[in-house]
Amino acid sequence: MYITITPQKMGANYSQSSGDFVGYLEKENQGLEQQDLPAGEAGMEHFFNQFGDEISAEEVVKEIDGNTAKLKKKEPKFYSITVSPSKYELRKLQNNSQDLKTYTRELMKDYVSSFNREINGRPITIDNIKYYAKIEHQRTFKGTDFQIKENQPYATKILQLKTEIRNVKEGRTSGNIKNMEKEIAKLERQAPHQSRGVGRKRIVQGMAKDGNQSHIHIIVSRKDASNSISLSPGSKHKASEVEMHGKNVKRGFDRDNFFEKAEKTFDNTFGYKRNYAETYKAKKTFVKNPNLYFSALLKLPANEKALAFKIISKSGLPVIPNIPISQAQIALRVFKRLRRGVEMAIKSSSIGI
């Protein structure tokens, strides 16, 4: 499970309207309105919330943009929560769209329960927040993906050769075009990351990712449903009280609690048996104490240990073929160069396996 919570920014300031973001989330529906799709193929996906389905994009923008009372330009108007189940988790679903909708509605209960806030003396409930969600089934490679980064040296050389070929054709220089074209074909094949299936191609930015890519996008208003109280999941406080206008006011959002509940809710809803390597707790342990993390992996039963290493390797972590005896050596050689990235993910309210 990979979850991120981020405020939406446009340059130095936060987005003043959800219009662009909502429009972005409508991209998969383009061209599907009039299509009769084969059985089992995903059709149009509409926005939904705790109480309704098939909510229009126009209504989402109207409701989110109209729920920003007294918020300044330098304050987030809404947050984006992205929930990306792993391929192992997705295999437990019978119907991706409906099951993920069910999960979203339970997840948002975990979200509100992670606030240390009260409204009129009562804990926050799902009725107190305004959110809209959408299921997507496609993903494309971005410049930040490791496949793109590791293919980049080949992409750079290919671009240079194509520029040389164009210069030869336009008479600005001389050279053997056939040899350069052969070199390009060789580089295309040598790039470490290729698409799967027939007609394999070098993975490039914007290319659709293979396999089941179903995930959830959630837009949640910064203000509560009454448009009077600010609820920030980006709060630095987990749980505390502060005096405001002569009254003690509870504040804070416990991200650790939210992420851990998100996993338990998924497991309980779909009967999923989570491997240690998939848990948020394991990620936190890795950041704080790599030796303890790897020690816990080694103590797993044989079948769970095998799956753990498979999950780790599929996540892009470089698992070494010969395991040293020293747990310190293991942690150092396998995880040291990745620790900074994982630590940043934890700090930015993200979890991922």
Spatial distance between the Cα atoms of 179 and 185, rounded to a whole number of angstroms: 10
3-state secondary structure of 127: helix
For the domain bounded by 2-139+209-270, which CATH number is listed? Answer: 3.30.930
What is the number of residues in the chain?
A: 353
Spatial distance between the Cα atoms of 50 and 127, rounded to a whole number of angstroms: 9
340: tokens are 């900074």
Q: What pLDDT does residue 31 have?
A: 55
38: tokens are 């084969």
10 Å CB burial of residue 2 (0-12, 13-18, 19+) is middle
Q: What pLDDT does residue 245 have?
A: 53
Q: Where are the domains of the chain?
A: 2-139+209-270, 143-207, 276-351
DSSP class of residue 48?
B
Amino acid at site 341: G
- Of 269, 351, 288, 340, the residue nearest 315 (C-alpha): 351
Asked if 83 and 220 count as a contact pair (C-beta separation under 8 A), the reply is no
Asked if 141 and 205 count as a contact pair (C-beta separation under 8 A), the reply is yes
Spatial distance between the Cα atoms of 318 and 333, rounded to a whole number of angstroms: 9
Q: 321: how many CB neighbours lie within 10 A of its CB?
A: 4
Asked if 127 and 108 count as a contact pair (C-beta separation under 8 A), the reply is no
Q: What pLDDT does residue 288 have?
A: 84
Spatial distance between the Cα atoms of 163 and 169, rounded to a whole number of angstroms: 10
Amino acid at site 234: G
| Close Cβ partners of 171 (under 8 Å, ≥ 6 residues apart) | none
Which position has the token pair 């396999």? Answer: 211
Which position has the token pair 């993910």? Answer: 345
262: tokens are 């998100």
123: tokens are 């804990």
Spatial distance between the Cα atoms of 7 and 234, rounded to a whole number of angstroms: 8
Spatial distance between the Cα atoms of 140 and 33, rounded to a whole number of angstroms: 22
Q: What pLDDT does residue 324 have?
A: 39
Spatial distance between the Cα atoms of 287 and 339, rounded to a whole number of angstroms: 6
pTM above 0.85, yes or no: no
- Of 294, 303, 299, 302, the residue nearest 323 (C-alpha): 294
Residue 245 φ/ψ region, left for φ over 0, alpha for ψ in the -120 to 50 degree band, beta for the rest: left
- Of 19, 8, 105, the residue nearest 56 (C-alpha): 19
Mean pLDDT, the chain cut into blocks of 10 residues (353 residues total): 83 82 82 46 80 94 94 89 92 91 96 89 92 92 91 96 95 94 96 86 91 92 93 70 57 88 96 92 84 86 87 58 43 51 49 40
Crossing angle of helices 96-113 and 255-270, in 10° steps, is: 140
| Close Cβ partners of 3 (under 8 Å, ≥ 6 residues apart) | 81, 82, 83, 84, 259, 262, 350, 351, 352
Q: What pLDDT does residue 40 have?
A: 41
